[in-house]
């Protein structure tokens, strides 16, 4: 049987004549940090102090003993970042130039000093650029010339920390006769019968040996011969339970076990978990353009999505527990789709395993983002090789429902001046419309492929046409008020978002000793977006008086504005289902402490946006929308059951009086939206009035003017410590009350976000991790709207 021995011990990193202990898997930055050679680049201005690291060469070494007892010994690297030369006792084993691939070298009978020398990713990229010529990109760094995590070169939310190292596991594999080289599982289901076709490739050491494979799944066993180096074993599993996205059903998973045999002697094995489900992408033309609707097991979905970036700029630090924590936070926010964005990586098995278990659909970008990518060698061969490897690697996961060619490159070619600058040079179109769809069609015909995001489906239309396919909505954040989200109804909003700062405790840790201000040195350094603070303040000024010299108030209002902006878009677009079939918020997470579009900050703390997503992504949602000249209440019902109830509508004054009210029955069918007209006499007028709609414990609010114009009463409320948290009782209107629990204790978390209370109402806010509850301290961490602020 194949024997695998991890190589995790005894590594050293050579640095300017010094030998430092090295962690494998790991990277140069984390080793230097552990040795005290560099400061923490996440703190203060530390990023700039370590910029030199990405420009140097680095060598990892360990001792490798020669082994006997098997016919062949392979040295296997699951990931090398990125331009590496591997030698054993001075003998060259090979060179690599792709972070997204694994590598295998025959070291049978060999031993001695194993050396992995990493060249600078900058040097590699700049050399390729010198051979192939300049290509335009959204950023000045040369990330499109090397097959490496693009955002390690910096992004508008990420630091420039260009890594190198053995970033995924390395091991010795010893085997005889043959080993399993690749298993490509095609999983389908029809009429309750699940079919598993396992396409097996083997590597032989002895050609004459007769080989077979035996597989089991769901109590069914089958066997097939290996002809040469290939074989196919088919299993039909009756009465399978379907795998569903979260909110639509359960997520049953089946263990598949395959054994490679020689005369009934086991040589090697392969084990995975699979799920049975069907997935389609409905892109048919209709009266509104052409759609982009996911259909799972025949059920049409409004996708409640988030964009995922690498959870750490040093991805070797992300393990199973962290993946599960972050993806559990996504599920807790009502998310059912996670888009793995193209400027990052193909994530580890731990990521996709968690998505399988939590019922989170995965949209997987191929790693191309915001740049023109050359199509010549050496890149073209690397692109196809990495695509083939990763398509097969990720195929077992039922959560994976879409392969997507790139992020914003088709759009960039048409709109960002690339076409003229390229003057006929290659830029990636051959990947997105040629190589990648061919690879997916050949290897994984069970899943749809999209050429890019955004993409209208044809060059006959603008790539970002909201009426066709996927749409990225960035004009609003960049130039307009978030009310403009309501100006159109895209078929599928694959990116949109609004910035907000991280939690207070995250800032305090990241900027030690700094007097916090929106424009203090550390705050500006941890704001990577072009004119990011300017856009934050202009967006704020449309709704609030921008507080001068009051950081705490600025911090609260910008977080509120972020939550309000994203909610405005989602509520509007969800109310137009099925024309709009999904929203994917930019973004779920951060890779370091930074002001960004994330709902969860770089220390893993939930911003108010995270809690707001839980409300607007719930199966049932009430939202007040303007349709033409009328105000309507849209009851959004994404649940499997009909929703019938009675709406209570109240036209109120900010002082607390009820000007008029009505009770209106409504019925929303399963997976549908119904509009209920608001009587004209209940529509609020002017700054002192607003409308409240309640049904089944859900609430929608409508204020006809910006907060800047609302004469909010001085907020009056009482705070009491209760088991597990605090209770707040309002004596006046209290708008957007927020407990910033991390101000009570850096480990404390509030279990809800923004809440508006009418006079006489109360709310309990659960708090976890608070060791010494105190009512006065809790009051000091509560923020809400005040007149003009």
Domain-embedded: residue 553: no
Average pLDDT over residues 512-537: 97
Percent of the chain beyond pLDDT 90?
97
pLDDT given at position 66: 86
Q: Is pLDDT of 788 > 60?
A: no
Q: How far apart are CA 771 and CA 121, in angstroms?
A: 47
pLDDT given at position 505: 98
Compute the radius of gyration of the chain from its Cα atoms: 28
Q: Are residues 80 and 195 in the same domain?
A: no
Report the CATH number that the domain containing residue 69 is assigned in CATH: 2.60.120.260
Average pLDDT over residues 695-714: 96
Average pLDDT over residues 759-768: 97
Nearest one of 156, 68, 75, 83 to 125, comparing CA atoms: 83
Q: How far apart are CA 765 and CA 728, in angstroms?
A: 8
Q: Is pLDDT of 547 > 50?
A: yes
Q: Encode pLDDT of 438-467 as tens digits.
A: 999 999 999 999 999 999 999 999 999 999
Q: Are residues 206 and 223 in the same domain?
A: yes
Q: How confident is the model at residue 67 (pLDDT cuts 50, 70, 90)?
A: confident
CB count within 10 Å of CB 364 equals 25
Domain-embedded: residue 465: no
Q: Are residues 17 and 121 in the same domain?
A: yes
0.75 exceeded by pTM = yes
Q: How confident is the model at residue 787 (pLDDT cuts 50, 70, 90)?
A: low
Q: Is pLDDT of 503 > 80?
A: yes
Instruction: Decide: helix, strand or coil at residue 383.
Output: helix
Q: Are residues 143 and 190 in the same domain?
A: no
pLDDT given at position 633: 98
Q: How confident is the model at residue 728 (pLDDT cuts 50, 70, 90)?
A: very high
Domain-embedded: residue 484: no
pLDDT given at position 206: 77
Q: Is pLDDT of 552 > 60?
A: yes
Report the CATH number that the domain containing residue 687 is assigned in CATH: 2.60.40.10
Q: Are residues 86 and 140 in the same domain?
A: yes
pLDDT averaged over the chain?
A: 97
Q: Are residues 143 and 206 in the same domain?
A: no
Average pLDDT over residues 712-724: 96
Domain boundary among 209, 241, 274: 274
Domain-embedded: residue 21: yes
Per-residue tokens: 399: 């959560």
Q: Is pLDDT of 430 > 80?
A: yes
Look at the chain and count its residues: 789
Domain boundary among 173, 192, 218: 173
Average pLDDT over residues 69-97: 97
Q: Are residues 37 and 137 in the same domain?
A: yes
Q: Are residues 7 and 156 in the same domain?
A: yes
pLDDT given at position 789: 47
Average pLDDT over residues 505-519: 97
Q: Are residues 191 and 75 in the same domain?
A: no
Domain-embedded: residue 543: no
Number of domains in the chain: 4
DSSP string, 182-246: EEEEEEEEETTEEEEEEEEEEEES-TT---EEEEEETTEEEEEE-BTTEEEEEEEETTPPBP--T
Per-residue tokens: 160: 């420039």
Domain-embedded: residue 231: yes
Q: Are residues 193 and 154 in the same domain?
A: no
Catalytic residue ranges: 408
Q: Are residues 646 and 659 in the same domain?
A: yes
Domain-embedded: residue 740: yes
Percent of the chain beyond pLDDT 70?
100
Domain that holds residue 688: 621-709
Domain-embedded: residue 146: yes
Q: Are residues 267 and 235 in the same domain?
A: yes
Q: How far apart are CA 542 and CA 238, in angstroms?
A: 60
């Amino acid at each position: 049987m194949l024997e695998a021995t991890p190589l995790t011990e005894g590594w050293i990193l050579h640095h300017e004549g010094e030998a430092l202990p090295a962690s494998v898997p790991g990277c140069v930055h984390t080793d230097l940090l552990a040795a005290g050679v560099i400061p923490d680049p996440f703190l203060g201005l530390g990023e700039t102090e370590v910029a030199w690291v990405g420009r140097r060469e680095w060598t990892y070494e360990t001792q490798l003993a020669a082994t006997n007892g098997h016919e062949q010994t392979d040295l296997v690297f699951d990931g090398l970042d990125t331009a590496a030369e591997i030698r054993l006792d001075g003998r060259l084993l090979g060179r690599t130039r792709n972070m997204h691939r694994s590598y295998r070298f025959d070291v049978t009978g060999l031993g001695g000093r194993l050396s992995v020398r990493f060249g600078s990713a900058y040097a590699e990229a700049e050399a390729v650029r010198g051979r192939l010529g300049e290509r335009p990109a959204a950023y000045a760094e040369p990330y499109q010339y090397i097959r490496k995590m693009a955002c390690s070169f910096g992004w508008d939310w990420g630091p420039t920390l260009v890594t190198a190292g053995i970033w995924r596991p390395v091991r010795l594999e010893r085997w005889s006769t043959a080993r399993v080289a690749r298993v490509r599982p095609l999983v389908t289901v029809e009429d309750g019968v699940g079919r598993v076709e396992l396409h097996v490739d083997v590597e032989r050491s002895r050609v004459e040996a007769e080989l077979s494979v035996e597989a089991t799944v769901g109590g069914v066993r089958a066997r097939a011969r290996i002809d040469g180096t290939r074989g196919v074993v088919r299993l039909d599993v009756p009465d399978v339970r379907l795998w569903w996205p979260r909110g639509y059903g359960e997520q049953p998973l089946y263990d598949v076990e395959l054994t490679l045999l020689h005369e009934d002697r086991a040589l090697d094995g392969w084990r995975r978990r699979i799920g049975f489900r069907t997935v389609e992408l409905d892109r048919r033309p209709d009266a509104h353009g052409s759609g982009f609707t996911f259909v799972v097991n025949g059920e049409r979905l409004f996708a409640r999505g988030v964009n995922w970036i690498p959870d750490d700029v040093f991805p070797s630090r992300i393990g199973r527990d962290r993946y599960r924590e972050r993806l559990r936070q996504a599920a807790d926010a009502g998310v059912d789709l996670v888009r793995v964005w193209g400027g990052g990586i193909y994530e580890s098995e731990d990521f996709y395993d968690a998505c399988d278990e939590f019922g989170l659909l995965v949209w997987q970008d191929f790693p191309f983002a915001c740049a023109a990518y050359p199509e010549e060698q050496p890149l073209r061969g690397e692109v196809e090789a990495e695509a083939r490897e990763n398509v097969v690697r990720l195929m077992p996961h039922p959560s994976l429902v879409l392969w997507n060619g790139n992020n914003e490159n088709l759009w960039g070619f048409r709109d960002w001046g690339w076409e003229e600058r390229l003057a006929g040079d290659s830029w990636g179109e051959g990947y997105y419309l040629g190589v990648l769809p061919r690879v997916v069609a050949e290897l994984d015909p069970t899943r749809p492929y999209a050429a890019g995001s955004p993409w209208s489906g044809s060059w006959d239309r603008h790539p970002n046409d909201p009426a066709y396919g996927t749409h990225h909505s960035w004009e609003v954040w960049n130039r307009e008020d978030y009310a403009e989200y309501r100006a159109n109804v895209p078929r599928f909003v694959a990116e949109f978002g609004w910035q907000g700062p991280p939690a207070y405790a995250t800032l305090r840790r990241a900027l030690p000793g700094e007097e916090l201000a929106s424009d203090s040195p550390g705050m500006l350094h941890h704001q990577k977006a072009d004119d990011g603070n300017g856009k934050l303040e202009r967006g704020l000024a449309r709704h609030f008086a921008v507080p001068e010299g009051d950081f705490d108030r600025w911090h609260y209002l910008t977080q509120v504005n972020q939550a309000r902006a994203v909610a405005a878009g989602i509520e509007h677009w969800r109310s137009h289902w099925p024309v709009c079939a999904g929203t994917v918020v930019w973004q779920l997470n951060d890779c370091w402490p930074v002001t960004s579009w994330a709902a969860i900050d770089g220390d893993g703390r939930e911003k108010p946006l995270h809690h707001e997503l839980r409300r607007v992504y719930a199966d049932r949602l009430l939202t007040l929308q303007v349709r033409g000249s009328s105000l309507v209440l849209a009851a959004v019902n994404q649940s499997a059951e009909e929703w019938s109830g009675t709406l209570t509508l109240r036209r109120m004054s900010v002082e607390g009086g009820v000007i008029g009210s009505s009770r209106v029955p409504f019925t929303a069918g399963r997976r549908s939206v119904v509009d209920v007209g608001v009587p004209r006499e209940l529509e609020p007028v002017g700054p002192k009035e607003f409308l409240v709609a309640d049904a089944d414990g859900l609430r929608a609010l409508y204020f006809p003017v910006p907060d800047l114009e609302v004469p909010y009463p001085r907020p009056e409320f009482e705070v009491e410590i209760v088991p597990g948290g605090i209770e707040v009782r309002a004596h006046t209107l209290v708008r957007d009350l927020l407990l910033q629990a991390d101000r009570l204790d850096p480990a404390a978390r509030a279990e809800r976000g923004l809440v508006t209370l009418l006079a006489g109402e109360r709310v309990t806010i659960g708090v976890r991790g608070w060791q010494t509850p105190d009512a006065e301290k809790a009051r000091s961490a509560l923020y809400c709207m005040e007149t003009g602020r």
